Amino acid sequence: MRMIGIGSIAFAVILLSDAFFCLFPTSSRNSAMALPNEVDPPLETKPLHEGLTIEETGDLEADLVVVSSLIEFDPSNASLFQWRALIYGQLQRYEQSVADFSSAIRLVPNDPDNYYFRSYMLAKLGQLEQAIDDLTETQRLDPDNANAFAERGELRARMDDCDGAISDLSEALKIRPEFGFALRHRADCYALTGNSGNAIGDYSRLIDLLPEEPSLYLMRGKTLLSEGLHSEAIGDFSTLIELRPQHPSGHYNRGRAHLQRKDYESAISDLTKAIELAPSDENSFRERARAFDELGRHQAALSDFSRSLELNPQNELALIGRGFLHQEIGMHDQAIKDFTSVIELKAGSPGVFEGRGLSYLSQEEWHLAELDFNASIELDPSHPQPYFNRAMLNQKRGNLGDALKDLAFCIELDAGFHSALYERAAIFLEIEEVSLGKEEISKAIALQPVEPRYRHLLARLQLKSGDYEAALQEIEAALEDSPENVSLWGLFAWSLATVPKKELRDGERAVEIARRTLRQQPDTPALLEALAAAYAELGDFDRAVATQQNALSIGAKEQLQETESQRHRLKLYESRMPFRLE
């Protein structure tokens, strides 16, 4: 055996330790780039130089000196350049590693290992396309190299070419069906592209191979959750918790699963545990806030959203969640601030502009609301809700023609948008286009047959068109479906007292219904007006006048605008005359 000496010290080195082989195996086909616990076949080493044995020193810099001297001694030996390239790689001197592999390739252009190892160093330098080219050459020289397919697939995934990645990873799995690295990356690519079924299948195969690997239960659970398979996802997260009880991700994700299936108390329990394990995790506070909000525990929700934002002021989802919560509880100034913060982070989605627009609308900031609804529409013209909101704005402004156009856009985008049909019918009633109103509300009722508001509006349209008997029948039928609906009872009392056809009127029943309904909802102007009309129908004009005056007085306190028709009815009662629909 010939030893290589430097100075007076004899050095005998092995260039690669066991740990180094794990990173850079001598044979690319036997690469150990795989999940923990996956064992590849034993590595085979190649001789550096005939008659030369290299033994271990444990000092990579010393090893580098030795091999460099060997290269000076034998500059045509490709294996020496390969070994030095690997040492440079372990020292993270990737550019020099690439240069040495290139030298080895010039000397031995048909050795696939050099292309394979150089691809790794190129990837470390961020030169992913060149790394992919080297792996392609590896495959050309060694068509059965599963690692080359798998690692090219992984690089393509990093370049957002999931389709190409899946193709390469599938080729790797044809060669090695239980190749954990390829299965894991293909599963991740399937999940990213929305192919959840295949992703779950690959994660399940991995779990069969590595049943104690917690990350696999996490990834499969998250994919199951994305498909709405809450119970199955909870099962995976529970296994993760058993394997890693002190790791917060199991409790966090199981809490999210409980939240999605509306088990809010269980969600709060798991998320609280996640916070105990990781008190600086902003996302656990944010998700627990959502659960508190769903339970109506608004102050607790606000506290958690705010804590999430203390930990990360740029947590967009926490800002959005707190913004909508502020809006829900009527704190529109604070809602506007939260939505504006999201927009300033350049994260303004259509929903954020829409949310801020609704708060502006509630504050009667018409112009600002319109700007936000327009921005939402510009960002996503295919979404019907902003058109609906802008229609409500135009309706409040009295721009009924523009409101009708926007509502038509809603219905064009979503034929099942029954609220838009209802609002169009209401506008048609207001502008006395009764037949068009009936047409629209009939469509809404076909979509939502027992919605009391829709039945109420249909009856009003029938009254307006003079179809009094049909109107009374519609109200009675609606009350069978919604017997607790105050508005329907009020309209019933009003109709029994005011329809022109004597045979349909019933003043006594109207008084009884109006009084009973007022006990449920006292001091309601519309119910008081129905009672006043019923008193007038019975000839009790003193009570009719007093009740109508009371209705107008309460309406004024509630800042309801007094209408000409209300004043007209009061004058009729003062003149000892009942009111009749026309």
Question: For 489-532, how does the pLDDT look when each residue is reduced to its tens digit (9 = 90+)?
Answer: 999 999 999 999 999 999 999 999 999 999 999 999 999 999 99
Phi-psi region of 51 (alpha: psi -120 to 50; beta: other; left: phi over 0): left
The DSSP element (H or E) to which 78 belongs, if any, is helix 78-90
pLDDT classification of 77: cutoffs 50, 70, 90: very high
Tokens of 185: 């990356």
pLDDT digits (tens, 9 = 90+) for 217-229: 999 999 999 999 9
Residue 229 DSSP code: -
Region 39-55 average pLDDT: 31
Residue 539 has φ and ψ, to the nearest 5°, of: 85, 10
Strands 4-6 and 9-11: antiparallel
pLDDT classification of 57: cutoffs 50, 70, 90: low
Residue 158 has φ and ψ, to the nearest 5°, of: -65, -25
pLDDT classification of 39: cutoffs 50, 70, 90: very low
pLDDT digits (tens, 9 = 90+) for 249-263: 999 999 999 999 999
Question: In whole angstroms, what separates CA 168 from the centre of its chain?
Answer: 30
Whether residue 365 is predicted with pLDDT greater than 80 in this model: the reply is: yes
CB 100 within 8 A of CB 84: yes
- Which residue(s) pair with 11 in the sheet? 4
Region 195-199 average pLDDT: 96
CA distance 444 to 519: 31
- Residue 59 is predicted with a pLDDT of 85
CB 73 within 8 A of CB 104: no
- Residue 2 is predicted with a pLDDT of 27
Whether residue 69 is predicted with pLDDT greater than 90 in this model: the reply is: yes
Region 171-177 average pLDDT: 96
Whether residue 35 is predicted with pLDDT greater than 90 in this model: the reply is: no
Gyration radius of the chain's alpha carbons = 38
CB 96 within 8 A of CB 71: no
pLDDT classification of 9: cutoffs 50, 70, 90: very low
- Residue 41 is predicted with a pLDDT of 29
Mean pLDDT lowest among 9-23, 223-237, 342-356, 412-426: 9-23
194 or 5, which is more confident: 194
Tokens of 318: 């926490």
Residue type, 495: S
- Residue 505 is predicted with a pLDDT of 96
Region 154-183 average pLDDT: 96
Tokens of 411: 């219905």
pLDDT classification of 17: cutoffs 50, 70, 90: very low
Question: In whole angstroms, what separates CA 249 from the centre of its chain?
Answer: 19
pLDDT classification of 58: cutoffs 50, 70, 90: low
- Residue 558 is predicted with a pLDDT of 77
CA distance 145 to 138: 8
CA distance 225 to 265: 18
pLDDT classification of 50: cutoffs 50, 70, 90: very low
Whether residue 11 is predicted with pLDDT greater than 70 in this model: the reply is: no
- Residue 31 is predicted with a pLDDT of 37
Residue 34 DSSP code: S
Which of helix, strand or coil describes residue 352? helix
- Residue 43 is predicted with a pLDDT of 24
Q: Calculate the average pLDDT of the chain.
A: 89
Q: What percent of the chain has pLDDT over 70?
A: 90
- Residue 582 is predicted with a pLDDT of 83
- Residue 29 is predicted with a pLDDT of 38
CB 30 within 8 A of CB 41: yes
CB 117 within 8 A of CB 82: yes
pLDDT classification of 197: cutoffs 50, 70, 90: very high
- Residue 224 is predicted with a pLDDT of 97
